[in-house]
Structure 1
Amino acid sequence: MPLPLYLLALAVFVMGTSEFMLAGLLPDIASDLDVTVGTAGTLTSAFAVGMIVGAPLAAALARDWPRRSSLLGCVLAFAAAHVVGVATTSFPVLFATRVVAALANAGFLAVALTAAATLVPPERKGRALAVLLSGTTVATIAGVPGGTVFGTLLGWRATFWAVAALCLPAAIGILIGLPARRGRRDAVDGPALRAELAQLRSPRLLLVMLLGALVNAATFASFTFLAPVVTGTAGLGELWVSVVLVLFGAGSFVGVTVAGRLSDRRPSQVIAVGGPLLLTGWPALAVLADQPVALLALVFVQGALSFALGGTLITRILYEATGAPTMAGSYATTALNVGAAVGPLVAATSLGTTAGDLGPLWVSGLLVAVALLVAFPLRTVVAAGRNSGVLR
């Protein structure tokens, strides 16, 4: 894999740390800013909404911009949003900074996904995306738990400062590692923006985007509210939240690595096997959450299955959107973040029910069930074509 791909993964690591770290910081943020944990959980949805809006907008604006400048600008804007977030004592202002950070993240990821796919031969898209997304999984293994420990010891604001500081080496890596050339230098005769947007009328593309949104909604519904499960239902100390996040991250790394090797050639097998297992895992986690050993094991498994399916569906979106070379990355980003926005919002409503802290886990199982119910009767729609089959 080319060096620029790993430099892009470094920036994804920083941004992924920020996106996921709230799972371990929500109780501290809620207490500091005098809001409920459920309200603090909307910060995750705010980030996702910013990415939903920002991904297509940034991708469209950056069509004729130098790719390196676009990526660098996004990283610097991301850092600035975190500095403002550290300084505020107002939850609405913090909420706004998460939206701004998400817009920057969305712009970066939309361009980076497309760039990653063009850095390798067409038949290796899946592996290239696995390297890029490894930045996210490493964030869940190291960055997020480290941020949680940092936040537990020094407060959540210290974690935000650390993220802002980590943007500097990521920016330097992009500046040095990527060539200064125009984003469409290799696609001057490519389709017009209207033609790329017309790809969204494809039933196969829309279906895969919907499946990606549902699976990611299930992932974020539970991941956002893991901390109360660990400290409440399981009765473990606060530092165990970091252990659980490490296990989830380790599982996600395994999952995205497997998906990177199989999503180009055998996507249907990944989903046909992983989907039912993922569906079974969330209710099992809800039932066994009061048993620490079972909790730790199942968190690892669910991380692996969630990212294996999610990574595979990202690859399928890019395959289905080959007629939109500059916008395909934004379609994948939008789909996944629709899920990331909806999941925590739905999960938050379950916290006030009799299920309590376990409500989000049941919500995740329901969302995966919906995804499988949608996919099964429409599997023939996405089965045609050499690289279009999702559920053969």
Structure 2
Amino acid sequence: MPFAVYLLGLAVFTQGTSEFMLSGLVPDIARDLHVSIPAAGLLTSAFAVGMVVGAPLMAILSLRWPRRRSLTLFLVVFVLVHVVGAITTSYAVLLGTRVVGALANAGFWATALATATSMVAPNAKGRATSIVVGGVTVACVAGVPAGALLGQYWGWRSAFWAVALLSLPAIVAILRSIPAGDAGAGTSARGELRALRSSRLLVTLLLGALVNGATFCTFTYLAPLLTGVTGLGEGWMPAMLALFGLGSFAGVTAGGRIADVRPVPLLGFGMVALLAGWALFAMTAANPVVAIPLVFVQGTLSFAVGSTLISRVFYVATDAPTLAGGLATAAFNVGGAAGPWFGGIAIGAGFGFRSPLWVSALLLCLALATAGVALGIRRGRANRIPVA
């Protein structure tokens, strides 16, 4: 595996840390900038919306650029907005930096996925994708807790400074390691859009959004679930979040090795196992002996299936790698935004902190139904083709 692919994963780690770290910094930001907690929470929502909108948009805008230039530009913008965010005293400016940072992050994600899959053999796209996506899982394990710790001792601004500083070595590494030439540079948007007219691609993107929605529906409310239903003390929460992150890293690693050789069995077994796991978790959430191992197991299965679906996008859309990367990024973040929203609706309706687990199970039911319908249609079309 080219070393440059690991460097792209490092850059994604810093950006993933920025995306998720605000969950532990919201109270301090609200107090410092004299805004309400919900207003500070909008900083996270703004980032998510920027990722969804920005991924395909930035992919189209950067189609004619060499990928090294695109990656460097997106990362430089990402660093600059974090510097501005770290020094501003205006909530409006901070909100703006989150939107611009999300656009840069989305563009980087789309280009990084396309670059990583183009640097490896045609049958190794799954492993390359898993390494890039693995940066997010490492952010969940180490980056987010570290950001919360920095905020606790040196204020929320220190976390922004840390993200900016950690991104600087990635800029240098990309300039030194990514080839200056680019096979994808000069590709027209119309040409890539034509290559995206595939029902298989649309199904893959929908499955990715549903699976990731199920993942973050529960992950977002994991702390109140484990403290309010399972009965664990708050002191357990860093370990539980890290356990989920370790599971997600294990899932990405294992999934990357299987996705290139046996993707269909992995997806089929993985989605069925995820559905069973979410339902079992919901029924046994009050039992820590069962709940704690399921935190790890579900993290593993979720990211094994999720990263495999991302890699399948590049196998399906071989003639549109940049836009495929943008759409995969958008689908990933649609799920990441919609899942917690659905979980919040269930909690707000009075179903308790166990309800996001049932919502996750329902989303997996929809994913399996979608896959089943798509498979049935494909087989029906194959049976109608006359044999010469």
* Higher gyration radius (CA): 2
* Aligned twin of 2:355: 359
TM alignment of 1:106-125, pairs within 5 A = 106-125=106-125
Output the CA distance in 2 between the equivalents of 1:110 and 1:18: 17
Alpha carbons of structure 1 residues 322 and 334: separation in structure 2 relative to 1, 3 Å: same
What displacement does 1:82 show?
2.5
What displacement does 1:308 show?
0.8
Alpha carbons of structure 1 residues 263 and 103: separation in structure 2 relative to 1, 3 Å: same
Per-residue CA shift, 1:209-233, capped at 9, x if unaligned?
Answer: 1111111111122222323334444
Q: Which amino acid aligns with 1:60?
A: I
Gaps of 5+ in 1: 385-392
Does structure 2 conserve the Cα–Cα contact (< 8 Å) formed by 1:149 and 1:239? no
* Aligned twin of 2:293: 297
Q: Does 1:203 align with 2:199?
A: yes
TM alignment of 1:1-392, pairs within 5 A = 1-25=1-25, 35-36=36-37, 42-88=42-88, 93-181=93-181, 183=182, 186-187=183-184, 192-381=188-377
Gaps of 5+ in 2: 381-388
Does structure 1 conserve the Cα–Cα contact (< 8 Å) formed by 2:63 and 2:188? no
Output the CA distance in 1 between the equivalents of 2:160 and 2:229: 28
Output the CA distance in 1 between the equivalents of 2:28 and 2:235: 13
Q: Which amino acid aligns with 1:258?
A: A
Q: Answer with 64-73 or 147-156: which moved more.
A: 147-156
What displacement does 1:98 show?
2.4
Output the CA distance in 2 between the equivalents of 1:288 and 1:22: 30
Aligned positions, number: 379
TM-score normalised according to structure 2 size: 0.88
Does structure 2 conserve the Cα–Cα contact (< 8 Å) formed by 1:45 and 1:342? no
What displacement does 1:269 show?
0.8
Output the CA distance in 1 between the equivalents of 2:80 and 2:313: 31
| SS of the residue 1:265 aligns to | coil
Alpha carbons of structure 1 residues 89 and 340: separation in structure 2 relative to 1, 3 Å: farther
What displacement does 1:153 show?
4.2
Q: Answer with 208-217 or 92-101: which moved more.
A: 92-101
Output the CA distance in 2 between the equivalents of 1:26 and 1:360: 22
What displacement does 1:234 show?
4.1
| SS of the residue 2:318 aligns to | coil
TM-score normalised according to structure 1 size: 0.87
Output the CA distance in 1 between the equivalents of 2:30 and 2:344: 14
Output the CA distance in 2 between the equivalents of 1:303 and 1:229: 15
Output the CA distance in 1 between the equivalents of 2:236 and 2:213: 24
Q: Which amino acid aligns with 1:111?
A: T
Alpha carbons of structure 1 residues 245 and 160: separation in structure 2 relative to 1, 3 Å: farther
* Aligned twin of 1:388: none
Alpha carbons of structure 1 residues 368 and 229: separation in structure 2 relative to 1, 3 Å: same
Alpha carbons of structure 1 residues 213 and 299: separation in structure 2 relative to 1, 3 Å: same
Q: Identity across aligned pairs (percent)?
A: 54
Q: Which amino acid aligns with 1:342?
A: A
What displacement does 1:363 show?
2.1
Alpha carbons of structure 1 residues 254 and 155: separation in structure 2 relative to 1, 3 Å: same
Alpha carbons of structure 1 residues 134 and 120: separation in structure 2 relative to 1, 3 Å: same
Does structure 2 conserve the Cα–Cα contact (< 8 Å) formed by 1:44 and 1:341? no
Does structure 2 conserve the Cα–Cα contact (< 8 Å) formed by 1:42 and 1:344? no
Per-residue CA shift, 1:151-174, capped at 9, x if unaligned?
Answer: 344444332332222111222221
Output the CA distance in 1 between the equivalents of 2:42 and 2:229: 22
Alpha carbons of structure 1 residues 267 and 228: separation in structure 2 relative to 1, 3 Å: same
Alpha carbons of structure 1 residues 34 and 5: separation in structure 2 relative to 1, 3 Å: same
Output the CA distance in 2 between the equivalents of 1:149 and 1:229: 22
Alpha carbons of structure 1 residues 96 and 204: separation in structure 2 relative to 1, 3 Å: same
Could you say what the CA RMSD is over the residues aligned between the two structures, in angstroms?
2.6
